[in-house]
Chain A
Amino acid sequence: MSLIELRNVTKSYAIDNAVIDAVSNVSIEIAKGQFVSIVGHSGSGKTTLLSILGGIVKPTSGGVLFDGQDIYAFTSDELSEYRSKKIGFMFQFASLLPVLTAKENIMLPVLFRFNGSDGSGVSEEKALELLEMVGLGDKINAYPSQLSGGQQRRIAIARAFMNNPEVILADEPTGDLDEETEAEMMNFFKRMNNEKNITFIMVTHNTDLAMQTGRRLRMSNGVISEL
C-alpha cells in the first residue's frame, strides 16, 4: 500500500467572477521512501499541491489519504498532530519566528508536539546536531535578523526534520542558496532519504536536482503528469 494517495484532488479559487483550478483532478500515489521531485512553471499549482499534502489547504473536492486515512476527515487537533508528527514542511518563503533564536526555532515543533520539552534533552541534542548538519553549528543563538537569507533557509530546513517526520514536503528548499550549498543540502536530503527512509516530495526549478530524484512529476495548469 502506498503511503500517500491523492484521489481526484481539485482545489479551486474564485478570483473576481472567474474560478481557476490551482490543482485540477490530481490522482497520484506515493510509496514510502520515494524521493519525488515536482517541476513546473510559476503559478502551475505546485505550492497548492504541497499544501494540500501537508494538511494546510483543504481541497475543494477529492480525498487525501495518508496510511489509508483521509486527513481532511480529521478534527482540527488531529490535523495539527498529523502536521506535527508525520510532516516536515519547508516553506517557499521565509518562515522563522523573529523572536526566537536559531536553536529555539528548530525546537519549536518539539514544543508543539510535547506541549513543552520532551523531558529528556534528546530533542535539544538533536537540534544541535541538525544545526551542525546544515553547517550552522556556530549560529545556535543567533536571531533570524542576524542571519543571511540562505542561512535562514537552512535553519528552516533543519526545523523540518525535528520531529522525525515520515514525509518531507519541500517547496523550493534551495531557492536562495549558492550552487555549492545547494549541492550540500541535496546530499543531506538524499542521506536522510537513504538512511531514515524519509519520503521526500520536493518542488524545484533546478532540473539538475530533479534529475537526481527517483521519480519526477510535472505540474502544468494544475494538472500533474509523470516525466
Chain B
Amino acid sequence: MTKELTLFSFALKNLSRKKLRTGILIIAISLLVCSLVFAMSFVKRVNASIKLTSERLGADILIVPAGSRGSAENILLENQVKSFYMDMSVIDKLKTIEGIAALTPQTYLITMPSLCCGVPEAMVIAFNQDTDFIITPWLDKKLKAGLKKGEAVVGSDSALNLDLGLVDVDSVLFGSTFKIVGVLGKTGTGLDNAIFISDDNMPHIIESGRVNIKPGQISIVFAKVKKGYDPYKISRNIEDSILEVDTVARKDIGKSIVNALSDINKIFYITVILASILSIFLVWAIFSAIANERAREVGIMRAIGAKESHVLTLFFIEVVVVGAIGSLLGIIFGNAMYFTLSKSFSIIKHLSAELNAVERSIITISGFLIGTSVCIVGALLPVQRLKKLEPLIVIKGES
C-alpha cells in the first residue's frame, strides 16, 4: 500500500517537481535569514555586554583622567588592557561635590609579557579595600576579610588561564611574588580577565620601577550617588568643577561604543531589509511562474470539486515549507557564521557577555518568522490569482 494522499503530501510532490528552482528559493531564504541572525546576534551581544557591565558595576559614576573615557570602557566592556593615571588628590576634590555617597579608587597596571616568563599581558587592578564596593561583592566569603599584602585574587577567566598553566600560581608580578588566594565570581564584565591586589602593595610595586606610575597616582574612581540625586547632574557638576577628569554616568557606560556601532547596525539592518525585499520579489517571480504553469491543473482540481480554500492551502503549504526549510538552514548558517566570525571581529571577541538562552531564542524565532513571512508575502498575489481561477480553463485542450 502506498502512502495516503493528503494536501500536505500533494504539496510536497508539487515542490519536488522542479528541484533546482525549489532549491534556489530555499537557499535565497536561508541567506536572508542567515544575515539576519548574524546581524541580530552581533548587535544584541554588544548591547547585552553594555547592560550587564553597567548593572554589575555597582557604581553610578566613573571618574577617569580627562581623555580616558574610551579606555575605561574598553577595559570594562571589552577586556582590553589599558592604563591611564591621575593624581589621588582628585578623591578629596570629589568629596566636596554634593550628592556623592561613596567613592573608591582603583589603579590599573599592566604586566609586561616580556618580563614574565611567557605569561600573557594582563591587567592588574589595585583596589582600595577600605572603601571598595566594586570588587568585594564578587569575592568568596572567606576572602571578604581582606587580602593581605602579597596576596592576589584572579578573575574567573584568568583562573581558567591559571588552570591551563598560562599564569603561574604564586605569580611573579612586577618583581614581587604574589600568592593567588582566590578566584572572583564570574561577573560577565572585563573584570573577569584581571588580577586583583590590594593597593597596599602599590608603594612596593612603584619601588620596583617596573611600572610607569608615580606615587600617589590612581586610574579611576567609582562613585555612588545618594538617593534622590541624579547621576547625570552630578556627573556634569564633577566635570565642571574638576577640570582634569572625565566622567561616565552609569546609563552612559558603553555610549561611545554604541555610537560607533550604531552606523554598523544601520548598515546591517538596511542590508537585511533590502535582502528581504529582494527575496519577496524572487518568491513573487517564482510563484508567478508556478501559477502560470499550474493554471490548468488548478482548473482541473476546481472542476472536480476543490474549493478555493483547497487551492489556497495547497500552495500555502508549499510556500511555508520552502520558508521553513530556508529559515531553519539560515538559522544554522547564521549561528555558524556568528561563532566563526566572532573570533575575527575584535569588537565581539573582547565582549564580556554571552547571549543568554532567551536572547538566542528571540533571534531564532525572529529569523524563522521573518524568513517564512517573506515567502508568504511574496507568494500572496500569485496564489490569490490562482485561487480565483475559473475551472472553465480545463475544458479547453492543452494550454
Chain A positions within 8 Å of B, measured between CB atoms, are 47-48, 51, 54, 56-57, 76-77, 80-81, 83-85, 89, 91-95, 97-101, 103-104, 107-109, 111-113, 115-117, 124, 140-141, 159, 163, 171
Whether A57 touches B301, Cβ cut-off 8 Å, given contacts A77-B308, A116-B6, A117-B4, is no
B52 contacts the other chain (CB 8 A) = no
Residues of B within 8 A of A117 (CB): 4-6
B297 contacts the other chain (CB 8 A) = yes
**Cβ A97 vs Cβ B297 within 8 A:** yes
State in angstroms the CA–CA spacing of A99 and B310 once bound together.
Answer: 17
Total residues of chain B contacting the partner, CB 8 A: 30
The distance from the CB of A162 to the nearest CB of chain B, in whole angstroms, is 9
The distance from the CB of B263 to the nearest CB of chain A, in whole angstroms, is 50
**Cβ A91 vs Cβ B394 within 8 A:** yes
The distance from the CB of A219 to the nearest CB of chain B, in whole angstroms, is 15
Smallest CB gap from B305: residue in A:
A84
Whether A83 touches B395, Cβ cut-off 8 Å, given contacts A107-B5, A111-B10, A141-B2, is no
Lowest 3 A-B CB distances belong to which pairs? A84-B305, A80-B307, A99-B13
**Cβ A89 vs Cβ B392 within 8 A:** no
Residues of B within 8 A of A108 (CB): 5, 301, 304
**Cβ B395 vs Cβ A104 within 8 A:** no
**Cβ B394 vs Cβ A112 within 8 A:** no
Q: What are 18 A-to-B residue pairs whose CB atoms are below 8 Å?
A: A48-B395, A77-B309, A81-B305, A83-B391, A84-B305, A93-B394, A93-B395, A93-B396, A93-B397, A94-B398, A95-B394, A98-B297, A99-B10, A113-B305, A115-B7, A141-B2, A163-B305, A171-B395
Q: Residue A89 contacts which of B303, B309, B397 (CB distance < 8 angstroms)?
A: B303
Residues of A within 8 A of B309 (CB): 77
Residues of A within 8 A of B2 (CB): 101, 103-104, 140-141
**Cβ B307 vs Cβ A77 within 8 A:** yes
State in angstroms the CA–CA spacing of A101 and B194 once bound together.
Answer: 70
Q: Residue A112 contacts which of B1, B304, B395 (CB distance < 8 angstroms)?
A: B304
B306 contacts the other chain (CB 8 A) = yes
State in angstroms the CA–CA spacing of A159 and B5 once bound together.
Answer: 14
The distance from the CB of B177 to the nearest CB of chain A, in whole angstroms, is 79
**Cβ B6 vs Cβ A112 within 8 A:** no
Q: For chain B residues 135-151, which have a beta carbon within 8 Å of chain A?
A: none
**Cβ A83 vs Cβ B6 within 8 A:** no
**Cβ A97 vs Cβ B392 within 8 A:** no
Residues of A within 8 A of B398 (CB): 93-94
Smallest CB gap from B303: residue in A:
A56
Q: Residue A57 contacts which of B13, B305, B392 (CB distance < 8 angstroms)?
A: B392
Chain B positions within 8 Å of A, measured between CB atoms, are 1-2, 4-7, 10, 13-14, 17, 297, 300-310, 390-392, 394-398
Q: Residue A116 contacts which of B7, B305, B308 (CB distance < 8 angstroms)?
A: B7
Smallest CB gap from A171: residue in B:
B395
The distance from the CB of B15 to the nearest CB of chain A, in whole angstroms, is 10
**Cβ B391 vs Cβ A100 within 8 A:** no
Residues of B within 8 A of A100 (CB): 5, 10, 13
**Cβ A80 vs Cβ B302 within 8 A:** yes
State in angstroms the CA–CA spacing of A94 and B297 once bound together.
Answer: 11
The distance from the CB of A97 to the nearest CB of chain B, in whole angstroms, is 6
The distance from the CB of B283 to the nearest CB of chain A, in whole angstroms, is 21
**Cβ B300 vs Cβ A97 within 8 A:** yes
State in angstroms the CA–CA spacing of A108 and B297 once bound together.
Answer: 12
Interface centre among A54, A94, A112, A117 (most CB of B within 10 A): A112
Residues of A within 8 A of B6 (CB): 111, 116-117
The distance from the CB of B34 to the nearest CB of chain A, in whole angstroms, is 31
Residues of B within 8 A of A101 (CB): 2
Whether A112 touches B305, Cβ cut-off 8 Å, given contacts A100-B5, A101-B2, is yes
State in angstroms the CA–CA spacing of A117 and B302 once bound together.
Answer: 18
The distance from the CB of B13 to the nearest CB of chain A, in whole angstroms, is 4
**Cβ A56 vs Cβ B395 within 8 A:** yes
- Contacts beyond the supplied A84-B305, A100-B13: 8 A-B pairs with Cβ under 8 Å: A81-B307, A83-B304, A95-B394, A99-B17, A100-B5, A100-B10, A104-B2, A108-B301
Residues of A within 8 A of B300 (CB): 91, 95, 97
Residues of A within 8 A of B1 (CB): 124
State in angstroms the CA–CA spacing of A210 and B5 once bound together.
Answer: 37
Whether A76 touches B301, Cβ cut-off 8 Å, given contacts A100-B13, A108-B5, is no
Whether A109 touches B304, Cβ cut-off 8 Å, given contacts A99-B13, A104-B5, A141-B2, is yes
